[in-house]
């Protein structure tokens, strides 16, 4: 009996000793966020940066708890800060660098291929923030689709301003689900410069995927009561045929409509408003007259077309096809009977 009690006692003691060692030597103590917060929950805690500007070192425990990372410790992100030695000014500078990629490998890998990582080295926090990151589906998240005008706009103010006023931006702000936001056209973590053939907005892709992903999608066009005709008719046009043939001088959707400031043709500020067409076409057709630019652009040869011009071309096309079929068919039939007669004649 005594022997048993002693054995259990030894095990418990051993365990307590191990726990003590872990607390003292390991990072166990600092894996507890409340220890960091003893200082950082002070709203007045601050330091001066090299330029002498005051920067706050306050961390809101409530915000952090509410964020997607509410369950992880300070030191899971601040892996280089394992104690409070940084608090003694000048003894050891705290390394504020955070490596989000240890847990988000996939996002980081893709991000490493982007213009934002290769050319300019921006950090994850520039888009996501640091202590109050919300789930993607939360409308308050900095990366929620309607908030990207502000988030990306912090560094791309010109593009964002134009976009906010465009037909797409206005619809987006009204919460319509099928209007594009910055990342619909550009992608998210893998954004490339537009000159890179892999960029989602490379000149070769604009009229194939960038705009047609919506303007040729039956479900979206039905919902907004516009048609897939612009894309179809563009592919049949001079411009579309030479574009698809690889001609880099030909016009794509953006050459005529613009990119971030796209507006309906009825809007006087639209590049395709009738008063602006001479200028728009004129960038490539310097001698374009008013009449040159007057013809409708997105017309399909179709007897069910929306205007008389389309119907006439549609009928001409049908008559043309009937003529071709009768002429070629007639000739084939004539040749066949001729051959048949000769074959029969030649039989012994």
Using CB under 6 A as the binding rule, the residues of this chain from 125 to 184 that contact ligand HEC are 125-128, 130-131, 133, 135-136, 143, 148-149, 151-156, 159-160, 163, 167-168, 171, 178-180, 182-184
| Residue written as token pair 């017309």 | 299
Q: Does 301 bind ligand HEC (CB under 6 A)?
A: no
CB within 8 Å of 111: residues ≥ 6 apart: 117, 124, 189, 190
Q: Which two tokens stand for residue 250?
A: 């030909």
Closest CA to 262 of 149, 157, 163: 163
Q: How many residues bind ligand HEC (CB under 6 A)?
A: 128
CB of 227 to ligand HEC, least distance (A): 8
CA dist 275 and 294 (Å) reads 10
Contact assessment for residue 36 and residue 74, using Cβ atoms and an 8 Å cutoff: yes
Q: Which is nearer to ligand HEC, 177 or 348 (CB)?
A: 177
CB of 76 to ligand HEC, least distance (A): 4
Site map for ligand HEC, 232-261, x if CB under 6 A?
--x---xx--x----x-xxxxxxxxx-xx-
Q: Does 76 bind ligand HEC (CB under 6 A)?
A: yes
CB of 177 to ligand HEC, least distance (A): 9
CB of 80 to ligand HEC, least distance (A): 9
Q: Which two tokens stand for residue 31?
A: 């894996």
Q: Which is nearer to ligand HEC, 234 or 305 (CB)?
A: 234
The span of 77-85, 300-308, 319-327, 336-344 binding ligand HEC (CB under 6 A) equals 77-85
CA dist 126 and 276 (Å) reads 39
Q: Does 210 bind ligand HEC (CB under 6 A)?
A: yes
CA dist 142 and 139 (Å) reads 8
Q: Which of 190, 214, 301, 310 binds ligand HEC (CB under 6 A)?
A: 214
47: left (phi over 0), alpha (psi -120 to 50) or beta: beta
Q: Does 39 bind ligand HEC (CB under 6 A)?
A: yes
Q: Does 310 bind ligand HEC (CB under 6 A)?
A: no
The span of 27-35, 301-309, 318-326, 340-348 binding ligand HEC (CB under 6 A) equals 27-35
Q: Which is nearer to ligand HEC, 214 or 301 (CB)?
A: 214
CB of 171 to ligand HEC, least distance (A): 4
Closest CA to 118 of 190, 187, 188, 182: 190
Number of other CB atoms surrounding residue 30 within 10 Å = 17
Q: Which two tokens stand for residue 286?
A: 């310097």
Report in angstroms the alpha-carbon separations of 317 from 12, 313, 314, 322, 327.
94, 6, 5, 9, 15
Q: Which is nearer to ligand HEC, 85 or 326 (CB)?
A: 85
Q: Which of 85, 173, 283, 289 binds ligand HEC (CB under 6 A)?
A: 283
CB of 16 to ligand HEC, least distance (A): 25
Dihedral angle computed from the Cα positions of residues 200, 154, 145 and 107, in that order, rounded to the nearest 10 degrees: 60
Q: Which of 113, 228, 244, 298 binds ligand HEC (CB under 6 A)?
A: 298
């Amino acid at each position: 009996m005594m022997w048993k009690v002693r054995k259990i006692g030894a095990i418990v003691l051993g365990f307590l000793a191990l726990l003590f060692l872990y607390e003292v030597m390991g990072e166990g103590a600092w894996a507890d966020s409340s220890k960091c917060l003893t200082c950082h929950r002070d709203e007045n805690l601050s330091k001066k940066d090299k330029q002498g500007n005051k920067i706050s070192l306050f961390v809101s425990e409530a915000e952090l708890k509410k964020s997607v990372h509410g369950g992880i410790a300070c030191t899971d992100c601040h892996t280089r800060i394992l104690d409070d030695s940084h608090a003694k000014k000048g003894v050891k500078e705290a390394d504020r660098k955070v490596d989000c990629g240890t847990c988000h490998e996939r996002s980081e890998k893709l991000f490493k291929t982007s213009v934002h990582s290769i050319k300019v080295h921006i950090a994850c926090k520039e888009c996501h923030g640091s202590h109050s990151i919300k789930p993607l589906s939360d409308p308050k998240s900095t990366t929620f689709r309607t908030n990207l005008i502000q988030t990306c706009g912090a560094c791309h103010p010109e593009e964002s301003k134009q976009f906010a006023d465009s037909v797409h931006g206005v619809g987006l702000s009204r919460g319509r689900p099928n209007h594009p936001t910055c990342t619909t056209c550009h992608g998210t973590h893998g954004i490339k410069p537009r000159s890179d053939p892999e960029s989602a907005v490379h000149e070769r892709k604009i009229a194939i995927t960038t705009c047609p992903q919506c303007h040729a999608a039956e479900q979206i066009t039905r919902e907004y009561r516009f048609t897939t005709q612009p894309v179809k008719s563009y592919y049949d046009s001079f411009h579309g045929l030479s574009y698809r043939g690889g001609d880099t001088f030909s016009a794509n959707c953006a050459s005529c409509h613009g990119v971030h400031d796209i507006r309906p043709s009825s809007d006087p500020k639209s590049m395709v408003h009738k008063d602006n067409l001479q200028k728009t076409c004129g960038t490539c057709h310097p001698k374009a007259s008013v009449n040159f630019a007057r013809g409708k652009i997105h017309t399909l040869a179709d007897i069910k077309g929306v205007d008389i011009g389309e119907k006439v071309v549609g009928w001409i096309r049908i008559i043309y096809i009937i003529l071709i079929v009768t002429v070629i068919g007639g000739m084939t039939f004539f040749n066949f009977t001729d051959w048949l007669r000769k074959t029969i004649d030649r039989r012994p």
